[in-house]
Structure 1
Amino acid sequence: MLERRGRKFGSGKDADLIGVDALSFLASNPELLKRFLDVTGMEADQLRQAAAKEHFFVAILDFILAHEPTVLDFAAAAGLDPAEIGMARERLAAPRS
């Protein structure tokens, strides 16, 4: 069962780790990575610098969530329930206290 209040989801992963997994997923798929770079206007050499910023992982999850087949592929690759991806995105976008 997915836990909405705790840090970890049913997979045992927290939102930060899901964001990192999403970046790895994009990096391992040249076609998706190119599409992400085209949509964001970023260059590949900017990824490492952008990954240091919290909002970057929200953008990656937004990109994945915008296309259901990509959501399902990422969920399968990362061992996640697809709902965990949206919940992770919401947690990463929420102000941190």
Structure 2
Amino acid sequence: MAPRSSLTPPDAAQALALRALTEIAGDDDLLGRFLVQTGCGPDALRRRITDPAFLGAVLDFILESDATVTRIALALDVPPGRLATARSLLPGATPEGSP
């Protein structure tokens, strides 16, 4: 039996988003697109790295592209749906089906 995590669901979502951000930062193409899309420079990224709303934006960036979802899910060894679930637990998430 796998050990149970002591993290709350929002904490686990933040941890997953932080791991995903590490993957983005390790890929020049993804990092460049992320910085352009968010308007966030490297200094702002460092300052906001623990902000739950910013981590939600990281997951938003990933979820905009099926290819990015697949790439990050494989890198993190998680089911792709876990990224969407994590996003739903962080500030700024919109209810499914909302514009």
| Pair in the same fold by TM > 0.5 | yes
Please give the secondary structure, in 1, of the residue aligned with 2:89: helix
TM, length-normalised to structure 2 = 0.78
Q: Which residue identity does 1:65 align to in structure 2? A: L
**How far apart, CA to CA, are the structure 2 residues paired with 1:82 and 1:14?**
15
Q: 1:93 deviation in Å?
A: 2.5
Q: Percent identity?
A: 34
Aligned Cα RMSD in Å?
A: 2.2
SS of the counterpart of 1:93? coil
Shift of 1:31: 0.8
Q: Which blocks of at least 5 consecutive residues in structure 2 are unaligned? A: 1-7, 93-99
- How many residue pairs get aligned? The number is 86
Please give the TM-score of this superposition, normalised by the length of structure 1: 0.80
Unpaired runs of at least 5, structure 1 = 1-5
Equivalence for 2:66: 68
The list of structure 1 runs, each at least 4 consecutive aligned residues, that deviate by more than 2 angstroms after superposition, is none
Task: Provide the rounded CA distance (Å) in 2 between the counterparts of 1:7 and 1:55.
Answer: 15
1:39-80 C-alpha deviation (Å, 9 max, x unpaired): 111112211101131101000000000000000000000011
